[in-house]
Amino acid sequence: MAVPVQNPSAQSVLITGGGRGIGRATAEFFQDAGARVGVIDRDVAGVRSGIDAVRADVTDDDEVAAAVAELAAALGGIDVLVNNVGVSFVGGIEQGTTQDWARLWDVNVVSHVRVTRAALPHLRRSSAPAIVNISSCTATSGLPDRVLYTATKGAVESMTRAMAVDLLAEGIRVNAVNPGTVATEFMEEIIDAADDPTALRAQFDGRQATGRMVAPAEVAAAVAYLASPHARSTVGSVLVVDGGLADLKLPVA
Ligand SMILES: NC(=O)c1ccc[n+]([C@@H]2O[C@H](COP(=O)([O-])OP(=O)(O)OC[C@H]3O[C@@H](n4cnc5c(N)ncnc54)[C@H](O)[C@@H]3O)[C@@H](O)[C@H]2O)c1
């Protein structure tokens, strides 16, 4: 049977955290493919022209509800939701206050719940609805000094499978992307702040067996694939885009 040709120009795509980094790359990837794109971010200054942007904090129920409604109207519906927002926290089990745990849980996990709930009525009206959550290699690889962040990303992957099985009956496919170390502004800020930026950049590059950080556009392409009809048999899956970080032990380059 022939696989239907993807028609991204027919997709309306909502992306959280689309103001920079992976979210912005994903928004631009979909826009370049002809989709109608809207982003929610607390800082929308970096959003490319032609992409609808609403400034909102994903930890605020009312702001999320209003932003999703505004973008659904502007885009003519929502076919694809990309739950991308996430913030990091560096530290082991003895670092991080109870408030830090609550804050990261709210931004990295509960925001996905909040935005998904607001988007579901619109996704239900789509002929090919899909949700893609952004996880992290930390969820599966046990990287040092990332206990709090890792716990939230483990939750994102578990929640992806639970959402997938619940929503499949309505034809809504839910999957996740698990990126390795991605060369975003966020990582550049960490590198710039280090005592030895050159050494830290080499460490971040060297985590991947490919010997370099993952490009944001490579994550965007994986998101677009999971949202496309080509992936219609892919449900509750986690697509790894990590340069071999998890499974390959020797650098190949
Ligand atoms: N960069 C990496 O190496 C990497 C690796 C694996 C997974 N990830 C995940 O990818 C996602 C994006 O990461 P990134 O590196 O592009 O991050 P980033 O910090 O570059 O971008 C995150 C965006 O989210 C927005 N944002 C943050 N908190 C918000 C809030 N409360 N309300 C609204 N907007 C908010 C920011 O303004 C920013 O535009 C995150 O979920 C992150 O955990 C990143």
Question: Mean pLDDT in runs of 10 for the chain (253 residues)?
Answer: 54 98 98 98 98 98 98 98 96 96 98 98 98 97 93 98 98 98 93 95 95 98 97 98 88 53
Provide the CATH number for the domain around residue 100: 3.40.50.720
> By three-state DSSP, how is residue 51 classified?
coil
- Is there a domain that residue 68 lies in? yes
> What pLDDT is stored for residue 186 in this prediction?
86
Pairwise CA distance, residues 228 & 251, whole Å: 32
Atom of ligand 1 nearest to the CA of 17: 24
Pairing of strands 36-41, 52-55: parallel
Dihedral sign, Cα of residue 96, residue 212, residue 241, residue 118: positive
- Is there a domain that residue 247 lies in? no
- Name the residue range of residue 189's domain: 8-241
- Is there a domain that residue 216 lies in? yes
- Is there a domain that residue 251 lies in? no
Q: Is 149 a catalytic residue?
A: yes
Ligand 1 pocket test, pick from 15, 63, 105, 136 with the greatest ligand atom count within 8 Å of Cβ, gives 136
Number of domains in the chain: 1
Alpha-carbon distances, residue 75 vs 36, 61, 226 (angstroms)? 6, 21, 20
> By three-state DSSP, how is residue 112 classified?
helix
- Is there a domain that residue 118 lies in? yes
Say what the pTM is.
0.96
- Is there a domain that residue 2 lies in? no
Q: Is 99 exposed, middle or buried (0-12, 13-18, 19+ CB in 10 A)?
A: exposed
From the candidates 149, 179, 209, 216, which is the catalytic residue? 149
- Is there a domain that residue 252 lies in? no
Is residue 8 within 8 A of residue 224, CB to CB? The reply is yes
- Is there a domain that residue 1 lies in? no
> What pLDDT is stored for residue 194 in this prediction?
92
**CB contact set of 51 (below 8 Å; sequence gap of 6+):** 18, 27, 28, 31, 37, 38, 39
> What pLDDT is stored for residue 253 in this prediction?
52
Specify the amino acid at residue 137. Answer: C
Radius of gyration of the chain (CA): 18
Ligand 1 contact, 68 CB (< 6 A):
no
What secondary structure does DSSP assign to 115-154, as a single string? HHHHHHHHHTT-SS-EEEEE--THHHH--TTBHHHHHHHH
Is residue 134 within 8 A of residue 107, CB to CB? The reply is no
> What pLDDT is stored for residue 3 in this prediction?
40
